[in-house]
Amino acid sequence: MKTATLSAEAPPATAAAPETLKPAASKAADGVWAMVGRANLRPVLVGFVSIALFVLVWRFLTVNRIDLYVRFMNVPSPDDVLESAKTALSSAQFADHVLMSCRRILYGFTLAAVVAVPLGLLMGRFKLLSEIVFPVAEVMRPIPAIAWVPMSIMLWPTNEQSIVFITFLGSFFPILLNTLHGMANVDPVLVRAARCLGASEAATFREVYLPATLPQIFTGLTVGMGVAWVSLIAAEMISGQFGIGYFTWEAYSLVQYPDIALGMITIGVLGLASSWAIRLIGRLAMPWSAK
């Protein structure tokens, strides 16, 4: 009698198992798809749509030669810029301009990050150092990159070194100030807890200050990269002989309007790519803050 009861109760248990497993698998698949779709697909699609709308408006204004106080009669159309891009990409000279600018950005920005991040950490930790360095930094920070061009030419023996120096200055101050801001926002409770546990000064820097400051540091790196491109282009237009900034200014001097737009678009794409690379490195360095 007992055996019969067990055998009668067994089928409902086995029949219910697939019903409970299937919704779980379906929910997991839906969760993965939702995560991929919302995190990656949607921003890409929205970005493509916004760029397409921008190009359509640009083409409409230039093809119809709209003149509503802002004049579009001499502005090249996307078709003209596309033809210019085909010509430029088929020549090695345009690639040399792009590579030269990327190399200058790499040197100047890397040097600025190597100097500004440790200096900002030390200034945030030691008040005396901050009192010495901060006033000088605040006086020099508002000076635009163009104003530094004559001085940098006098300071450095070659134009290449002076352009890298201007790029360094452009990215140095945003990185320094954001690092200082991050140090100021470190929770003092975490610092006291580390000291109570016997952490040394170096260990406190490594385990408390640096992880807490990393978000602000990468914010400064992202902002500094944008300012570095602005500074580089200004320096290349004035004192450079190569680079995408020089290419754009030379196109203006030769009245080659499509090449001007091509140079501007190239600068924007390079700046976007470099900022995206910094954000990617930030996500890898701070997995706890990834959303």
Count the Cβ atoms, other than its own, within 10 Å of residue 187. 10
- Domain 76-289 fold is MetI-like fold (1.10.3720)
Q: pLDDT by residue (tens digit) across 268-281?
A: 999 999 999 999 99
The arithmetic mean of pLDDT across residues 171-178, rounded, is 95
Q: Which tokens is 17 given?
A: 């198992």
Which residue's structure tokens are 């954001």? 178
Contact 113/171 with Cβ under 8 angstroms? Answer: yes
Q: Give the SS3 label for residue 209.
A: helix
Q: pLDDT by residue (tens digit) across 36-61?
A: 455 578 888 888 899 999 999 999 99
3-state helix, strand, coil in the chain (%, to 5): 85, 0, 15
Q: What is the spatial distance between Cα 102 and Cα 243, in angstroms, rounded to a whole number?
A: 8
Average pLDDT over all residues of the chain: 84
Burial-class residue 89 by CB neighbours within 10 Å (0-12, 13-18, 19+): exposed
pTM assigned to the model: 0.79
Within 13 Å and on the Cβ side, how many CA atoms surround 258?
12
> What pLDDT, on the 0 to 100 scale, is given for residue 67?
84
Tell me how many degrees the CA angle 170-272-267 measures, rounded to the nearest 5. Answer: 70
